[in-house]
């Protein structure tokens, strides 16, 4: 049943996008074409920039002592947002903007274990 529901949502999504684009084209006319061109270009530039930045980000995260999963999550989030911006539609653009604006939790620096533990006593 869950698989059928997921399949129905995935198949209905393009129809909602097309319906909304048709409604917006009726309201705004030819101004919709530059919007779609702008969002597709922005998505392509995000993907292109992320392709070049992923290795630098991964290297920096590993050098600072953090887990590389944080860099990979950031990259995956930006790539998904770029792909959603390339697809024509307003709903996918809103999802992409939300993906780009949600901050990931900051990486905590590793704990320094400089303390020496043991027993002590004061002698006078």
* Residue range of the domain that includes 40: 30-106
Do residues 37 and 23 lie in contact, with contact meaning Cβ atoms separated by under 8 Å?
no
Residue 114 lies in a domain: no
Residue 95 lies in a domain: yes
Rounded Cα gap, residues 102 and 114, in angstroms = 35
pLDDT surpassing 70 at residue 109: no
Residue 113 lies in a domain: no
Rounded Cα gap, residues 48 and 87, in angstroms = 16
Residue 19 lies in a domain: no
Rounded Cα gap, residues 60 and 68, in angstroms = 9
Q: What total of structural domains would you count in the chain?
A: 1
Residue 75 lies in a domain: yes
Nearest to 44 by CA among 96, 103, 90: 96
pLDDT digits (tens, 9 = 90+) for 19-55: 999 999 999 999 999 999 999 999 999 999 998 888 8
Residue 11 lies in a domain: no
More confident residue, 107 or 5: 5
Cα 113 to chain centroid distance, Å, stands at: 34
Residue 4 lies in a domain: no
pTM confidence score: 0.76
Residue 43 lies in a domain: yes
């Amino acid at each position: 049943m869950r698989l059928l529901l997921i399949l129905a949502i995935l198949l209905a999504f393009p129809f909602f996008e097309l319906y909304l684009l048709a409604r917006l084209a009726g309201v705004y006319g030819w101004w919709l074409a530059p919007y779609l061109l702008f969002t597709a270009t922005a998505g392509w530039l995000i993907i292109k920039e992320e392709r070049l930045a992923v290795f630098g980000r991964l290297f920096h995260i590993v050098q600072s002592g953090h887990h590389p999963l944080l860099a990979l999550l950031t990259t995956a989030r930006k790539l998904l947002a770029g792909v959603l911006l390339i697809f024509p539609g307003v709903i996918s653009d809103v999802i992409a903007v939300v993906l780009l604006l949600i901050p990931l939790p900051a990486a905590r620096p590793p704990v320094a274990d400089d303390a020496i533990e043991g027993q002590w006593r004061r002698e006078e």
